[in-house]
Amino acid sequence: ELAAGAPSGFLSIGHRGASGHAPENTRLAMDTAVRLGAQWVEFDVQRHGDTLLVFHDDRLDRTTDGQGRLLEQSLETIRQLDAGRGETIPTLQEMLDHIDRRVGVNIELKSFGGTAAAVASVLREYVDQRGWVPDQFLVSSFHLRELREFRRLAPMIPTAVLLCGVPLDLAACAAEIGAVAINLASDFVDAELVADARSRGLKVYVYTVNDQDDIEQLRACGIDGVFTDYPERAVFVDRAA
């Protein structure tokens, strides 16, 4: 029940923005997530030469009017594509310059080989020269070696280990990298893993959860937040005492 009170500690994280309502990974999707109450937004970043693009797939076909592999098309071609409702594929910098500064920004490093270095350099500039604070960012990746490289280059910026499975050593990999959170696929929410993460002081966020009952169940289990295409379904307030 929605009632007056402080926002709960549970995070509604707009997955690729509010991708259930607007074209994923676009500026419109981020604006929509903010409007629907998301406290954080997530988007995917890939390196294309010297440019960091906000884009999820290897191929252009599913989400744009273009065709073929992202990395095989020229930047000029990519930048002219329609990513839905007239939106274009933004660079990381364009996305950051656009986003409402009240939300946290989870940047998922999708590509590897130089992505960490390029993103670290951009985020350091946003922190050092543009007034962003490190805690406004959370950088995550399935590519744990890339994430470790990011930590080395930008140790002030919080990181999260992305998991799609339960590692044999449970949450130890996140602790080793110095991450603050584990972002776990919903199929692998496991009591032992969650307890181990907790005991190491790590937050646990679960992706991608769109069903209202599932979201409420995860919240009741003590999960710290969910990635959802429908951020309004994960917004809760704690009743004033």
Applying CB under 6 A, the site for ligand G3P has a residue count of: 11
Binders of ligand G3P in range 188-207 (CB under 6 A): 207
Which helix (DSSP H) or strand (DSSP E) does residue 76 occupy? helix 75-79
Indicate the residue among 24 and 87 with the shorter CB distance to Mg ion. Answer: 24
Which residue reads 């990381």 in tokens? 92
Indicate the residue among 34 and 196 with the shorter CB distance to Mg ion. Answer: 34
**Is residue 235 within 8 Å of 36, Cβ to Cβ?**
yes
Indicate the residue among 167 and 237 with the shorter CB distance to ligand G3P. Answer: 167
Residues 6 or more apart whose CB falls under 8 angstroms from that of 1 comprise none
- Give me the least distance between CB of 1 and Mg ion, in Å please: 31
Binding mask 90-109 for Mg ion (x = CB under 5 A): ------------------x-
- Give me the least distance between CB of 106 and ligand G3P, in Å please: 7
Q: Does 63 bind ligand G3P (CB under 6 A)?
A: no
Residues 6 or more apart whose CB falls under 8 angstroms from that of 172 comprise 196
Query: In whole angstroms, what is the distance from residue 50 CA to residue 155 CA?
Result: 22
Indicate the residue among 110 and 148 with the shorter CB distance to ligand G3P. Answer: 110
Task: Bin 18: left if φ > 0, else alpha if -120 < ψ < 50, else beta.
Answer: beta
Query: In whole angstroms, what is the distance from residue 236 CA to residue 155 CA?
Result: 32
Binders of ligand G3P in range 111-170 (CB under 6 A): 140, 162
Query: In whole angstroms, what is the distance from residue 151 CA to residue 230 CA?
Result: 30
Indicate the residue among 128 and 187 with the shorter CB distance to ligand G3P. Answer: 187
Hey, is 207 helix, strand or coil?
A: strand
Residue 183 binds what, of ligand G3P, Mg ion, none (CB under 5 to 8 Å, by partner type)? ligand G3P
Which residues are 47's β-sheet partners? 52
Exactly one of 183, 204, 228, 234 binds ligand G3P (CB under 6 A); which one?
Answer: 183
- Give me the least distance between CB of 65 and ligand G3P, in Å please: 22
Residues 6 or more apart whose CB falls under 8 angstroms from that of 29 comprise 14, 16, 17, 18, 19, 21, 22, 23, 43, 87
Q: Does 228 bind ligand G3P (CB under 6 A)?
A: no
What residues make contact with Mg ion under the rule CB under 5 A?
44, 108
What residues make contact with ligand G3P under the rule CB under 6 A?
15, 42, 44, 56, 108, 140, 162, 183, 207-208, 227
